[in-house]
Structure 1
Amino acid sequence: MVTQNQRSTALITGAGRGIGRAIAERLADDGFDIIVADVPEAKDNVNSVIDAVQQRGRDAVGVFGDVSNPDDVARFVAEGTTALGDLHVFVANAGIAQVDPILDVEPAALDRMLDVNIKGVFYCYQAAARQFIAQKSSGKIIGAASIVAYRPFPLLASYSATKWAVRGLTQAAAMEFAKHKITVNAYAPGVVGTAMWDLIDERLTTLEGTPRGSALERQVDGILAGRVSVPEDVAKLVSFLSGPDSDHMTGQTVLIDGGINFA
């Protein structure tokens, strides 16, 4: 946790809603000022997150762009640090999902999945490390993986592949950045009650001809904790990864799924 006398800043992509918003609010509670990054279409959501952070007594600024564009990611960092000071934590949270049989995945849809979920995380790791090195400071880079980074789901092949890639990228980046005193870890949520999982449920039930909500309900049977996760569950793990208690931890992708997978 950051003390009130310290000014520490965290940048979170995809922070306008869902897990990203929960992370922003939790890190604000921990004492971080927050750079809230999202696509331009999420401006109203971003402004709502900024208000929530400020209500917690921390500063916040919104930055807008597409994580699949490296210039936008570099600008997130430049604009955010100009407004709030040196960067300490970068959370590469932004991602998209796609539910389709492999045989039906169109090239354009696959390209977009790879652009956001792999290239976007790569550019975030790259921009964060460059900023920490320029500051001559240590730093923490945290990426969004998923339980499918350990066990893929059918009809989520492209999404699963990207999250496996995030896991590998996290390990490689940890190896390269260690000499700069930068740690790199990832969080792997399970079934989280967010808009993304609503879309997954809608698509799965359409493909299967089952009632809306049934795909999500089926997942509960495989969760030892007996419930679907909420964004705050994930934010608690990111809080740990962002703080000093995780200083001796790097290259790890940590499951936070209520007991679905074991690694």
Structure 2
Amino acid sequence: MTPETRVAVVTGSGQGIGKAIAEQLAEDGYAVVIADFNGDTAETTAAELREQGFKAVSVQGDVSKPEAHQHFVQTAVAEFGRLDTYVNNAGIAQIKLLKDQTPAEMQQIFAVNVFGTLYGIQAAAAQYEKQADGDHIRKIINASSIAGHIAFDMLGAYSATKFAVRGLTQAAAKELGRHKITVNAYCPGIVGTAMWEQIDNRMVEELGGTPGQYLDQYSKLITMGRVETPLDVANYVSYLASTKADYMTGQAVQIDGGIQFI
């Protein structure tokens, strides 16, 4: 199977880390499905890739709904003929003390981060089982976090969801390995995206201080001395999606510039 025939779905890829992942996979030879809750953002990113000569199509959907993932997969198959890699990248964060967390807030973050990942695993696995791919290894790649290894205060609910993603990743790897499907996760650290701006702003609201204070505070923990970029994450996902990672499964590696060493 040549690189030109590979097809990937990337959820939450209209912007931020997901966009960088989609762009990198396109450069790697993938045809990409840009799936996002915001249909306009998704189409803008897909159009940018097409203008550069890459194969890309956009699709709108809510990852907390299983039918959305089924639609993402169907779009990949209808447009490009198959599916090879499914990246469960979409996620949300909440900045709040656990003692103040409401049932509705917990349901929302688990619906997107945990159930959204589960539904993506299910939809991808169902399609892979339909494909006669011989010894070709198919990939499922999930977004965890360094907060999925060691929980962060003020990010308790988010941390819990990312621990759950690691659990889903390990269990799915064990269940799907015999079908020649690998399941791995990537665990970013402090990435210079809109999500971290949101985290910083919410911490200012909750704890006081000035904008940028908490991003700067946490950034001082980074051994490499700089805030992570979306491309730093995309480079690792590129490896997971490649044949070089065909013997790797069930892992959740921290790509954080050296914040945590576990």
- TM-score (normalised: structure 2): 0.96
Cα RMSD, aligned residues only: 1.2
Q: Structure 1: how far apart are the matches of 2:132 and 2:165?
A: 26
Contact 2:73 2:124 in 1 (8 A): yes
Contact 1:28 1:56 in 2 (8 A): no
Matched, 1:136 2:135: no
Tell me the amino acid that sits aligned with residue 185 of structure 1.
Answer: N
Matched, 1:195 2:183: no
| Superposition pairs of residues 1-263 of structure 1, within 5 angstroms | 3=3, 6-39=4-37, 42-137=38-133, 138-263=137-262
Contact 2:192 2:228 in 1 (8 A): yes
Give secondary structure in 1 for the equivalent of 2:152.
Answer: coil
Post-superposition, which runs of at least 4 consecutive aligned residues in structure 1 deviate over 3 A? none
Number of aligned residue pairs: give it: 259
Unaligned 5+ runs, structure 1: none
TM-fit CA distance, 1:44: 2.3
Q: Structure 2: how far apart are the matches of 1:184 and 1:56?
A: 30
Give secondary structure in 1 for the equivalent of 2:57.
Answer: strand
Q: Structure 1: how far apart are the matches of 2:165 and 2:36?
A: 19
TM-fit CA distance, 1:255: 0.5
Tell me the amino acid that sits aligned with residue 32 of structure 2.
Answer: I
Give secondary structure in 2 for the equivalent of 1:90.
Answer: strand
1:53-75 CA distances to partner (integer Å, 9 max, x unpaired)?
21332211111111111011111
Q: Structure 2: how far apart are the matches of 1:218 and 1:180?
A: 45
**Residues 1:2 and 1:213: Cα distance change in structure 2 (over 3 Å):** farther
Give secondary structure in 2 for the equivalent of 1:228.
Answer: coil
Q: Structure 1: how far apart are the matches of 2:111 and 2:223?
A: 34
Q: Structure 2: how far apart are the matches of 1:128 and 1:107?
A: 30
1:88-139 CA distances to partner (integer Å, 9 max, x unpaired)?
0000000000000011111111100010000000000111111111113331
Tell me the amino acid that sits aligned with residue 254 of structure 1.
Answer: V
Contact 1:14 1:20 in 2 (8 A): yes
**Residues 1:108 and 1:179: Cα distance change in structure 2 (over 3 Å):** same
TM-fit CA distance, 1:2: 5.6
Q: Structure 2: how far apart are the matches of 1:158 and 1:136?
A: 40
Give secondary structure in 2 for the equivalent of 1:34.
Answer: strand
TM-fit CA distance, 1:43: 2.2
Tell me the amino acid that sits aligned with residue 256 of structure 2.
Answer: D
Tell me the amino acid that sits aligned with residue 30 of structure 1.
Answer: D
1:174-205 CA distances to partner (integer Å, 9 max, x unpaired)?
00000000000000000001111110000011
Q: Structure 2: how far apart are the matches of 1:187 and 1:104?
A: 29
Q: Structure 2: how far apart are the matches of 1:140 and 1:169?
A: 14
Give secondary structure in 1 for the equivalent of 2:225.
Answer: coil
Give secondary structure in 2 for the equivalent of 1:35.
Answer: strand
Tell me the amino acid that sits aligned with residue 71 of structure 2.
Answer: R
TM-fit CA distance, 1:81: 1.3
Q: Structure 2: how far apart are the matches of 1:33 and 1:45?
A: 18
Tell me the amino acid that sits aligned with residue 217 of structure 1.
Answer: D
